[in-house]
């Protein structure tokens, strides 16, 4: 049993589908950034993107702390700004956690999924960023307690089964040396970070 299950990955790779499956399987908690309540940005804020992202991130961390303090396990969190992934080993050191990085070496599969999602559900849509983001997600070094899974050619069921096996065999590191990873290996929807 884990305290936290973090899911990261590029748009269209299947993070939400996986999270819902893990939530049902492990009977924990599941939440993503788009579940943060709506709020109004004050007029005097210099950088709206930074402000919005910081408020959402802080809210998610407070929710994680709240659910963990209530004794809940297998808390699944996702859809936070990828830039924040590099902070997870610092913030959750000493907890039993895993970072699941979903990637796809098949760019056409990702593009197809993004188009399908956009046409049926809306959401972010930037096909030009797919290749650029894919390279970062595929190639960046692993963080402590991070596992990378290439979902190219896999069905939703295949991905869920593979991740269940990974989680069930994962022996989380509780102690490790870690310095904050280079932000240039990460992407961010906040344009002023210049990581897009």
CB contact at 8 A, 39 and 133: no
Domain ranges of the chain: 4-193
Kindly tell me if the per-residue pLDDT of 48 is higher than 80. yes
What is the C-alpha to C-alpha distance for residues 72 and 4, in angstroms, rounded to an integer? Answer: 10
Q: What is the band of 132 on the pLDDT scale with cuts at 50, 70, 90?
A: confident
Q: Which residue has the higher pLDDT, 44 or 38?
A: 44
Kindly tell me if the per-residue pLDDT of 14 is higher than 90. no
Q: What is the largest CA-CA distance in the chain?
A: 49
Beta strands, E only, 51-118: 75-78, 97-103
Give the DSSP H or E segment for 167: helix 156-169
Please give the backbone phi and psi of residue 172, each rounded to the nearest 5 degrees, phi first: -65, 140
CB contact at 8 A, 188 and 82: yes
Query: Region 20-35: what's the mean pLDDT?
Result: 91
Coil, helix or strand at residue 83 = helix
Alpha carbon 165 to its chain centroid, in Å, reads 19
Q: What is the band of 92 on the pLDDT scale with cuts at 50, 70, 90?
A: very high
The answer for residues whose C-beta is within 8 angstroms of residue 162's C-beta and 6 or more apart is 149, 154
Q: Put the strands of the sheet holding 29-32 in their side by side order.
A: 29-32, 75-78, 4-9, 97-103, 146-150
pLDDT tens by residue, 57-83: 999 999 999 999 999 999 999 999 999
Kindly tell me if the per-residue pLDDT of 134 is higher than 80. no
Kindly tell me if the per-residue pLDDT of 191 is higher than 60. yes
Q: What is the pLDDT of residue 137?
A: 84
Structure tokens, 93: 């050191």
What is the C-alpha to C-alpha distance for residues 51 and 70, in angstroms, rounded to an integer? Answer: 29
The closest alpha carbon to 118, from 10, 191, 12, 16, belongs to 12
CATH level 3 topology of 4-193: Rossmann fold (3.40.50)
Structure tokens, 157: 């069921």
């Amino acid at each position: 049993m884990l305290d936290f299950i973090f899911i990261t990955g590029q748009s269209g790779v299947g993070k939400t589908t996986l999270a819902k499956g893990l939530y049902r399987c492990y009977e924990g908690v599941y939440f993503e950034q788009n579940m943060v309540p709506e709020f109004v940005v004050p007029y005097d804020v210099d950088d709206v993107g930074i402000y919005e992202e910081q408020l959402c991130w802080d809210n998610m961390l407070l929710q994680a702390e709240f659910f963990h303090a209530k004794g809940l396990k297998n808390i699944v969190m996702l859809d936070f700004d990828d830039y924040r992934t590099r902070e997870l080993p610092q913030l959750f050191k000493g907890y039993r956690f895993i970072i699941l990085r979903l990637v796809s070496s098949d760019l056409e599969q990702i593009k197809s999924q993004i188009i399908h999602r956009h046409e049926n559900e809306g959401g972010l849509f930037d096909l030009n960023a797919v290749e650029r983001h894919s390279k970062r997600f595929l190639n960046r070094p692993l963080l402590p307690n991070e596992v990378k899974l290439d979902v190219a050619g896999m069905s939703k069921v295949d991905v869920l089964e593979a991740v269940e096996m990974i989680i069930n065999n994962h022996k989380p590191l509780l102690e490790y040396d870690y310095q904050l990873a280079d932000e240039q290996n990460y992407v961010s929807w906040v344009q002023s970070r210049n990581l897009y």
